[in-house]
Structure 1
Amino acid sequence: MSRAAGYVGLAMLAALWLLPLPGLLGADFPHHMLRHMGLVAIVTPLLVIGFPGLAAPFAFSPLLGAVLEFIVVWSWHMPGLHGMADAGGLALVAEQGSFLIAGLLVWAGALRGGAPLAGAGGLLLTSMHMTLLGALLILAPRDLYAAICGREPDLDAQQLGGVLMLGIGTPIYLVAGLWLTARALDMGKAEA
């Protein structure tokens, strides 16, 4: 069962890179966000569950993983770095690779670290910062990236990207964090 999760994660990783997302979603920003959220919130937990031996080197402190993911995610959403990644090439590979590594750090630390309450804390912190960034993208009064990316402003596309971030990342991190909290409480009862 767990190995199957890893293969599903690999298939989703391939789909995120091989499917013509811009053609399917239209505007550029929503497909960027779908790829990003797919990597950090869906693919990486499936890889950690499915391939625990490969995930073991990433199983650091889940709180440290959450901080590192915060830095990675927010840095790549600053207009300058986002503009570089939007142009494609090595910057896009660096962006997506850093999202993948950051996601592995969060999920391996949370699910494989042996401390479910710390894992819950890392996932809940990640849920909060993903929610904040998604809300910022939705509530911004203008397209934050159009000028740096050399395209016409498209506030609707940016808002859809924010909705994707909220709709995918927030519930996945929140539910997993609450599950780990319940697991930690159950372990505490068993020890008492």
Structure 2
Amino acid sequence: MRPVCLLPALALLAAIWLLPLEAWLPGFPVHMLRHMVLVALAAPLLVLGLPGVAGRLAINPLIAAAVEFVVVWAWHMPQAHALGRLSGAGFVAEQASFLLAGALVWAGCLAARQPLAGAGGLLLTSMHMTLLGALLVLAPRDLYAAVCGTAPDLAGQQWGGLLMLGIGTPVYLLAGLALTAKALGREAVA
């Protein structure tokens, strides 16, 4: 166990689940903030903080990236999104699946025998996160208001997309580039 990584991960999880974030941000941005903290911040810290557990979660980086892609995009389909926002059980299922998918990606990518394979998984994840964030920002209407029974809030959706772009894209991109540099450094030494 590495407390220097584990304690911040646990603090982030406590903050996103226990603090009254809705008092500070509207519904959709809070929802997206939770998603991004789970997959891009808490998950890698948990993987680094619990290397024994992470070792058991490590799967092929590209398969892990594909799993996360399916989980993230599925929960952003209007009906699934409404379930995650309006139902306690749906919220728990959504949050658990995001955390597990994030842990799979980070465990697989950071433990990959070939750092370039890990870099590929993280860069693919960065690309699909960027695409979804851009879709949320550029959509001409609120994609979820009707199914959630809320007033349309295009600005809130756009802020949520910007949070996705501002947190997920750079975290995955920088980690992927770091693994690429590690791989290139190994080749230079060999």
Normalized against structure 1, the TM-score is what? Answer: 0.97
1:22 matched residue in structure 2: 22
Which SS does the other structure have where 2:151 is aligned?
A: coil
> Segments of 4+ in structure 1 off by > 2 A?
none
Q: Is contact 1:3-1:49 (8 Å) kept?
A: no
1:32 aligns with 31
Where structure 2 has 5 or more consecutive residues not aligned to the other structure, the ranges are none
Q: How far is 1:58 from its partner?
A: 1.1
**Which deviations, in whole Å up to 9, do the C-alpha atoms of 1:23-68 show, x marking residues without a partner?**
111x100000000000000000001111101111111011100000
Deviation at 1:2, TM superposition (A): 4.0
Q: Hey, what's the Cα distance between the residues in 2 that align with 1:116 and 1:54?
A: 20
Q: Following the alignment from structure 1 to structure 2, what is the Cα–Cα distance between the partners of residues 159 and 176?
A: 25
CA distance in 2 between counterparts of 1:37 and 1:88 reads 20
- The structural deviation recorded for 1:188 is 1.4
Partner residue in 2 for 1:138: 137
Give the alignment of 1:63-142 within 5 angstroms. Answer: 63-142=62-141
Spell out, residue by residue over 1:116-157, the C-alpha distance to the aligned partner (whole angstroms, 9 max, x if none). Answer: 110000000000000000000000000000000000000000
The aligned length equals 190
User: What is the letter of the counterpart of residue 143 of structure 2?
Assistant: L
Letter of the 2:12 partner, please give it: M
Instruction: Letter of the 2:37 partner, please give it.
Output: G
What's the offset of the Cα at 1:115?
2.0
RMSD: 1.0
State, as a whole percentage, how many aligned pairs show the same letter. 63
Q: Distance in 1 between matches of 2:127 and 2:9?
A: 24
Aligned to 2:6: 6
Unaligned runs of 5+ residues in structure 1 are none
Query: What is the alpha-carbon distance in structure 1 between the residues aligned to residue 158 and residue 8 of structure 2?
Result: 29
Aligned equivalents of 1:9, 1:24: Cα separation in 2 = 22
**Residue type at the aligned position of 1:71:** V
Q: Which amino acid aligns with 1:15?
A: A
1:56-97 per-residue CA deviation (whole Å, 9 max, x = no partner) reads: 111101110000000000000000100111113111100010
Aligned equivalents of 1:144 and 1:20: distance in 2? 25
Distance (Å, rounded) in 2 between the aligned partners of 1:86 and 1:14: 19
- Does the CA-based 8 Å contact 1:111-1:119 persist in structure 2? yes
Q: Distance in 1 between matches of 2:59 and 2:14?
A: 26
Deviation by residue 1:153-191 (Cα, 9 ceiling, x = unmatched): 000000000000000000000000000000011111222
- Residue aligned with 2:30, SS: helix
Q: Secondary structure at the match of 2:24?
A: helix
